[in-house]
Structure 1
Amino acid sequence: MVFFPVRQIEIDPFSLTLMPMQQEHLGALHGLSVALGWPHRHADWAANLDSGTGIVAVDEAGRVHGSAMTFSYHRDLSAIGMVIAHPKLARTALFRTLATEALEQSTGAAFLNACQQDVSFYRDLGVRSAAPVFRYEGFLPCGFSLARNVRPFRPQDRPRLHQLDQSGYCADRSRLVATLLEQSETYVIETCGHVTGFAMRRRFGRGHVIGPVIAANETDALSLTTSLMAGLAGQFLRLDTRQTEGSFVGFLAALGFRARPDVTTMTTTNLTFSPEIYAISGHSTG
């Protein structure tokens, strides 16, 4: 668990207090993200606070001007996300202060998904580029059904899901996975009676997002993904992936989903990401 200390900073023309993010800050943060064109709902901010720790910059009148979050995955890895600053302070040191604070409070190695315009900024902080993340999104043109070897998650599958996620990320993300299980429709795929992959779908932004998807191969990843598309014909769907070629992304393109090199994953060390991760859980959590 990360604990952000309370302290004063001077960001011309404001005197701001950095303090731990609380539920009462989420309304203002949601309004700030809407103003910047982010798709996050208030519920999406709340979900992140359930699985991470945040810091906010508040002025003397109690107005929130920015935030940053850290998602600690045991003692060996942290994800940095939800770094946002009020547009009027975009040219001040606030964004840099928030990002630096989150990086300094992270445990072990850290990674983040940076918008393209922020990549050079994070490089200046000593974070290096690792891999692009492509956002596939659009209105699902057709319906799908549950694949033969895919079934809904059962409570007894929980230890295996944690094991698969830990293997994919080389880190213990149990707190995040627990939060996602509460919010998501979750399916698993079985091979010879053993769970070998899983995928989740939850409400997010304009519709639904699928992720994470962790599978042994593209065929299994497609079976999980199409199963989660069941009943969503005509609805808005999003999936974020580091996959750059193969039948998985070919299928998404065939649906007519637009692929955008939305963000770049950046790391503080030479992290590698498992090819078994076909969709990430989110830009902030990885």
Structure 2
Amino acid sequence: MRIADIRDVELEQLHALSMAVRWPHRGADWEMLRGFGQGVAACDEIGRVFATAMWFDHGDDFATMGMLITSPRLQTHGAGRWLMEHVIARTRPRRLGLNATRPAMPLYRSMGFKVEATVFQCQGEALAPPRVEAPGALRRVRAGDAAAVLALDREAFGADRLRLLELLLPQSTGLVLERGGDVVGYALCRPFGRGHVIGPLVARNDEDAAALASPLIAEHAGSFVRLDTRNETGPFAELLVRSGLPVFDTVTTMSLGPGPWLRTPDAGGTPRVYGLASHALS
């Protein structure tokens, strides 16, 4: 096996690999990830792809990792560890974050990653959501909102996602929530996998998050919608269940490097991430 740059691999091969492990990524989703991040693939002597791993820089000192996929034929032969070691060497000295599936957790633990939180993958055929009274002015994202959205996102995420937001905004339906002339929350919705994914979604409390998610769910009632969140209970989680998006599966947020990745919200309403952009982009 040899390591190749993921951009040099045929898109059809990457799509076939993710289908082999029943991940929902379309060719278009792979293309977006390759355009934003960096990655490697394990290939054999005739160019067949058996494993991948990617990383996505958010500012100068933090990156998320994802798309660690190993063909079922190689899952007991160390290909995942081999690629992970390569990615960690390439990203050093950045702090790293990822969202681990249950089968991959022992590998990440053995490489020093620490558990931080659970992510609840909520999805299904969306129902018309219950009416949510917006605690402020709810409207579509405008070009002039970019700076306010970035500042809010940086405070919630803990790193600079400027490049990611610049990529996602043009391909997403976006909403912002205003109070007193200030943007206090935002949400994006874009095509992904079997339908649409809502995320990132950043808000100061459950009520604001529910107000942002509700109209985006309503727009896609009757079709497949997904939202990944770290909120297991509360008004926001209840809205998802009542909107036909129950918990389908869970993954575990983990980090490698000094200090925790996720920020603990305070009682003063610090903004936080209610909806992930994706497991890989977080």
Question: Once the 2 structures are TM-superposed, how far is the Cα of residue 170 of structure 1 from its aligned partner?
Answer: 1.3
Q: Is the contact between residue 28 and residue 64 of structure 1 (CA under 8 Å) also seen in structure 2? A: yes
- Within the candidate set 113, 117, 141, 1:131 is matched to 117
Question: Once the 2 structures are TM-superposed, how far is the Cα of residue 110 of structure 1 from its aligned partner?
Answer: 0.4
Partner of 2:168: 180
Q: Is the contact between residue 53 and residue 87 of structure 2 (CA under 8 Å) also seen in structure 1? A: yes
- Within the candidate set 28, 44, 62, 2:47 is matched to 62
Residue 90 (structure 1) aligned with residue 75 (structure 2): yes
Q: Secondary structure at the match of 1:229?
A: helix
Partner of 1:271: 260
Q: Is the contact between residue 133 and residue 262 of structure 1 (CA under 8 Å) also seen in structure 2? A: yes
Partner of 2:146: 158
Q: Is the contact between residue 25 and residue 64 of structure 1 (CA under 8 Å) also seen in structure 2? A: no
The more displaced of 90-99 and 250-259 is: 250-259
1:141 partner letter: L
1:46 partner letter: E
Residues 138-153 of structure 1 mapped to structure 2, 5 A cutoff? 138-142=124-128, 149-153=137-141
Partner of 1:74: 59
**CA–CA separation in structure 1 for the residues paired with 2:73 and 2:165:** 36
CA pair 23-205 structure 1, distance change in 2 beyond 3 A: farther
The more displaced of 136-145 and 121-130 is: 136-145
Q: Secondary structure at the match of 2:219?
A: coil
1:209 partner letter: V
Identify the structure with bigger relative contact order (alpha carbons < 8 Å, sequence gap 6+): 2
**CA–CA separation in structure 1 for the residues paired with 2:241 and 2:131:** 19
1:38 partner letter: W
Question: Once the 2 structures are TM-superposed, how far is the Cα of residue 23 of structure 1 from its aligned partner?
Answer: 6.0
The more displaced of 116-125 and 273-282 is: 273-282
Q: TM-score under structure 2 normalisation?
A: 0.91
**CA–CA separation in structure 2 for the residues paired with 1:245 and 1:91:** 37
Partner of 1:48: 33
1:205 partner letter: G
**CA–CA separation in structure 1 for the residues paired with 2:131 and 2:254:** 36
The more displaced of 255-264 and 197-206 is: 255-264
**CA–CA separation in structure 2 for the residues paired with 1:236 and 1:188:** 23
Residue 99 (structure 1) aligned with residue 87 (structure 2): no
Residue 122 (structure 1) aligned with residue 108 (structure 2): yes
Q: Is the contact between residue 143 and residue 232 of structure 1 (CA under 8 Å) also seen in structure 2? A: no
Question: Once the 2 structures are TM-superposed, how far is the Cα of residue 174 of structure 1 from its aligned partner?
Answer: 1.1
Which structure 2 residue ranges, 5 or more long, are not aligned?
266-271
**CA–CA separation in structure 1 for the residues paired with 2:177 and 2:251:** 29
**CA–CA separation in structure 1 for the residues paired with 2:88 and 2:123:** 30
Question: Once the 2 structures are TM-superposed, how far is the Cα of residue 239 of structure 1 from its aligned partner?
Answer: 0.4
Q: Is the contact between residue 145 and residue 230 of structure 1 (CA under 8 Å) also seen in structure 2? A: no
Q: Is the contact between residue 133 and residue 240 of structure 1 (CA under 8 Å) also seen in structure 2? A: yes
Q: Is the contact between residue 183 and residue 202 of structure 1 (CA under 8 Å) also seen in structure 2? A: yes
1:204 partner letter: F
Q: TM-score under structure 1 normalisation?
A: 0.90
Question: Once the 2 structures are TM-superposed, how far is the Cα of residue 134 of structure 1 from its aligned partner?
Answer: 0.3
Partner of 2:213: 225
Q: Secondary structure at the match of 1:212?
A: strand
Q: Is the contact between residue 189 and residue 220 of structure 1 (CA under 8 Å) also seen in structure 2? A: yes
Q: Is the contact between residue 53 and residue 67 of structure 2 (CA under 8 Å) also seen in structure 1? A: yes
**CA–CA separation in structure 2 for the residues paired with 1:143 and 1:123:** 39
Partner of 1:7: none
Which structure 1 residue ranges, 5 or more long, are not aligned?
1-15
Q: Secondary structure at the match of 1:188?
A: strand
2:208 partner letter: D
**CA–CA separation in structure 2 for the residues paired with 1:280 and 1:233:** 20
Question: Once the 2 structures are TM-superposed, how far is the Cα of residue 272 of structure 1 from its aligned partner?
Answer: 4.2
Superposed CA deviations along residues 23-44 of structure 1, whole A, max 9, x for unmatched, are: 6432101111011100111111
Partner of 1:4: none
CA pair 262-23 structure 1, distance change in 2 beyond 3 A: farther
